[in-house]
């Protein structure tokens, strides 16, 4: 039995836990992935955005006929694109692993799968047992399997598809969530014929106005089969044939299954040792990121990231890692009063599809369901000079505001630069600022895209003042 003071399972955001402040602890980091550094760096946010940007550049030029650019021709050198991305990422992953392997005397690296044998004890595949004073479960999530579309050399997940040798002529994407729409836009932008099959609509949890706009934009760029499911999958001579629940069929050279991600709790056997789980398999944690067992905090056991978080987002995982880190420093038996609570809100989300979407908080409907007296305002990109520059017709910013206080309950942007345009609204909402006076408390450089946000704020303020009803 190996004994350590801190066991970290998962080298994604978990890998940020060991800092100089924890150098007095003996630490073991466990990760069984073929890569090092977690989903975001290796098969998630970062490489996808690196591909997406290339696709966006190509698409922007191809779509610029309306701006007066003609006869646009662009060849896509897929191996060069892929190798640039992974040349950079793999080097970072490898040097990260090398550092963890030999960089600090108090940290050891275990490259095996583990299962819990007790709340603070695991056994590796090779039979090694590790007992720890404190455990951080940061083992993340993995692509969910589709029962009717089993993996094959032509049926890939998001872990695999970025590594393909050549672009397919035609790609079927099964799924309608964030990962699915990002890959759809990326491959479409790189010239692949994309057909996307979604059980309901695309990005179904979006604000309804944005959801409708996203669907329309997607359907104008690639083939969308919504409200249908895949019931069977057959390999053919040159691809895969998917039978759909609506009776039709789709054939493609390659299939990406992207129907969501599930937490890796089952692989760790976390149910066997009495930890509490949400219905979807995530660990239940309290506001200090302590894993619960029977509704009570499990001494010395924390979780962070996709394995517990309601938002499967890297910035959430990183923030949870900071909370866990602070609470580890408080010692294994710290009273709650010494612990740091995770109360950062709201949580922004960004989708790097075509179009981009970014949002946080409530829609008008969910705000009202929560009992708020709320209203919403919408400002089109097309009503600003930047929208004229873009020749934009489909992009907008919507704000959901509490009528009593002027507090931003939600913000929803669809269109170019949505993720960065959202930030001043995140800042305001996070710091309890009312929309009252906010736009006029600062300059907004003309004619930058941020004027879209400025004008939405002004409209919200007018509404508050009763000037608009």
Q: Which of residues 401-420 bind its own copies (CB under 8 A)?
A: 417, 419-420
Is 380 marked within a binding site? Answer: no
Torsion over CA: 63, 48, 208, 372 (sign): negative
Is 176 marked within a binding site? Answer: yes
Tell me which residue of 259, 204, 202, 201 sits closest to 230, measured CA to CA.
259
Q: How far is the CB of 28 from its own copies (least distance, A)?
A: 27
208-221 and 178-189 helices, crossing angle to 10°? 30
Hey, which residues between 368 and 407 contact its own copies (CB under 8 A)? 385-386, 388-391
Number of residues in contact with its own copies under rule CB under 8 A: 78
Q: How far is the CB of 429 from its own copies (least distance, A)?
A: 8
Distance CA 144, CA 211 (A): 23
**Considering only 77-85, 130-138, 235-243, 289-297, which stretch makes contact with its own copies by CB under 8 A?**
77-85
Provide the greatest CA pair distance for the chain: 71
- Pick 53 or 204: Cβ nearer its own copies: 53
Give yes or no for a contact between 386 and 374, defined as CB atoms under 8 angstroms apart.
no
Q: Does 60 bind its own copies (CB under 8 A)?
A: yes
Count Cβ atoms below 10 Å from residue 209 Cβ, excluding itself. Answer: 16
Is 459 marked within a binding site? Answer: no
Hey, which residues between 173 and 202 contact its own copies (CB under 8 A)? none
- Pick 168 or 424: Cβ nearer its own copies: 424
Give yes or no for a contact between 176 and 196, defined as CB atoms under 8 angstroms apart.
yes
Is 179 marked within a binding site? Answer: yes
Hey, which residues between 222 and 261 contact its own copies (CB under 8 A)? none
- Pick 82 or 225: Cβ nearer its own copies: 82
Q: Does 434 bind its own copies (CB under 8 A)?
A: no
Single out the residue of 118, 280, 441, 468 in contact with its own copies (rule: CB under 8 A): 441
Q: What is the CA radius of gyration of the chain?
A: 24
Q: How far is the CB of 91 from its own copies (least distance, A)?
A: 11
Is 306 marked within a binding site? Answer: yes
Q: Does 101 bind its own copies (CB under 8 A)?
A: no
Q: How far is the CB of 385 from its own copies (least distance, A)?
A: 5
Distance CA 462, CA 445 (A): 21
**Considering only 118-126, 163-171, 229-237, 424-432, which stretch makes contact with its own copies by CB under 8 A?**
424-432
CA 338 to chain centre: 31
Paired tokens of 294: 């029977």
Name the residues annotated as catalytic: 446
Q: Does 37 bind its own copies (CB under 8 A)?
A: no
Paired tokens of 434: 């009312």
Q: Does 171 bind its own copies (CB under 8 A)?
A: no
N-terminal to C-terminal alpha carbon distance within the chain: 70
Q: How far is the CB of 211 from its own copies (least distance, A)?
A: 19
CA 44 to chain centre: 8
DSSP string, 114-138: EEEEETTEEEETTS-EEEEEEEEE-
Hey, which residues between 258 and 317 contact its own copies (CB under 8 A)? 313-316
Residue 14, helix vs strand vs coil: helix
Give yes or no for a contact between 238 and 253, defined as CB atoms under 8 angstroms apart.
yes
Single out the residue of 5, 32, 81, 115 in contact with its own copies (rule: CB under 8 A): 81
Q: Does 330 bind its own copies (CB under 8 A)?
A: no
What are residue 257's DSSP bridge partners? 174
- Pick 167 or 334: Cβ nearer its own copies: 167
Q: How far is the CB of 182 from its own copies (least distance, A)?
A: 12
Is 357 marked within a binding site? Answer: no
- Pick 365 or 385: Cβ nearer its own copies: 385
Single out the residue of 30, 174, 399, 421 in contact with its own copies (rule: CB under 8 A): 421
Distance CA 409, CA 360 (A): 8
Kindly state the DSSP code that residue 283 receives in the 8-state scheme: B
> What's the residue count for the chain?
469
- Pick 118 or 427: Cβ nearer its own copies: 427
Distance CA 109, CA 112 (A): 9
- Pick 145 or 345: Cβ nearer its own copies: 345
Distance CA 173, CA 34 (A): 24
Is 180 marked within a binding site? Answer: yes
Q: Does 341 bind its own copies (CB under 8 A)?
A: no
Distance CA 349, CA 44 (A): 14
Single out the residue of 25, 26, 32, 49 in contact with its own copies (rule: CB under 8 A): 49
Binding residues for FAD: 49, 306
Binding residues for NAD(+): 175-182, 260
């Amino acid at each position: 039995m190996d004994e350590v003071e801190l066991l970290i399972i998962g080298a994604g955001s978990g890998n940020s836990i060991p800092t100089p402040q924890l150098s007095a602890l003996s630490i073991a980091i466990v990760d069984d992935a073929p890569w090092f550094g977690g989903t975001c760096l290796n098969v998630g946010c970062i490489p996808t955005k690196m591909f997406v940007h290339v696709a966006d550049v190509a698409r922007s030029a191809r779509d610029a006929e309306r701006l007066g650019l003609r006869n646009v021709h662009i060849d896509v050198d897929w191996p060069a694109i892929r190798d640039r991305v992974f040349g950079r990422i793999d080097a970072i992953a490898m040097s990260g692993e090398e550092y963890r392997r030999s960089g600090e005397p108090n940290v050891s690296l275990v490259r095996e799968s583990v299962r819990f044998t007790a709340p603070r004890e695991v056994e590796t595949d090779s039979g090694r047992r590790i007992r720890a004073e404190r455990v951080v479960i940061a083992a993340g999530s993995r692509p969910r399997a589709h029962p009717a579309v089993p993996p094959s050399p032509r049926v890939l997940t998001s872990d695999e598809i970025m590594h393909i040798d050549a672009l397919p002529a035609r790609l079927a994407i099964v799924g309608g969530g964030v990962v699915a729409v990002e890959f759809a836009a990326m491959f479409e932008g790189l010239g692949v014929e994309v057909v996307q099959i979604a059980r309901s609509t695309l990005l179904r949890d979006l604000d309804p106005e944005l959801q409708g706009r996203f669907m329309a934009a997607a359907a104008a760029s690639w083939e969308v089969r919504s409200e249908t499911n895949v019931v069977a999958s057959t390999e053919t001579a040159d691809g895969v044939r998917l039978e759909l629940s609506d009776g039709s069929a789709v054939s493609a050279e390659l299939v990406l299954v992207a129907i969501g991600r599930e937490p890796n709790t089952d692989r760790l056997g976390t149910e066997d040792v009495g930890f509490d789980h949400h219905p979807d398999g995530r660990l239940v944690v309290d506001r200090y990121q302590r894993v619960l067992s029977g509704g009570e905090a499990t001494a010395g056991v924390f979780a962070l990231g996709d394995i517990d978080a309601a938002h499967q987002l890297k910035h959430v995982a990183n923030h949870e890692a900071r909370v866990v880190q602070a609470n580890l420093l408080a010692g294994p038996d710290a009273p709650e009063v010494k612990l740091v609570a995770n109360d950062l809100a709201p949580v922004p989300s960004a989708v790097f599809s075509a179009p981009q979407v970014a949002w946080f908080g409530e829609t008008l409907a969910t705000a009202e369901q929560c009992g708020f007296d709320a209203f919403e305002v919408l400002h089109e990109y097309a009503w600003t000079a930047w929208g004229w520059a873009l020749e934009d017709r489909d992009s907008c910013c919507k704000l959901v505001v509490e009528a009593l206080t002027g507090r931003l309950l939600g913000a929803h942007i669809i269109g170019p630069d949505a993720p960065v345009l959202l930030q001043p609204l995140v800042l305001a909402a996070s710091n309890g600022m009312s929309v009252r006076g906010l736009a006029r408390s600062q300059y907004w450089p003309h004619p930058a895209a941020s004027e879209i946000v400025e004008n939405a704020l002004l409209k919200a303020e007018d509404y508050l003042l009763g000037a608009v009803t």
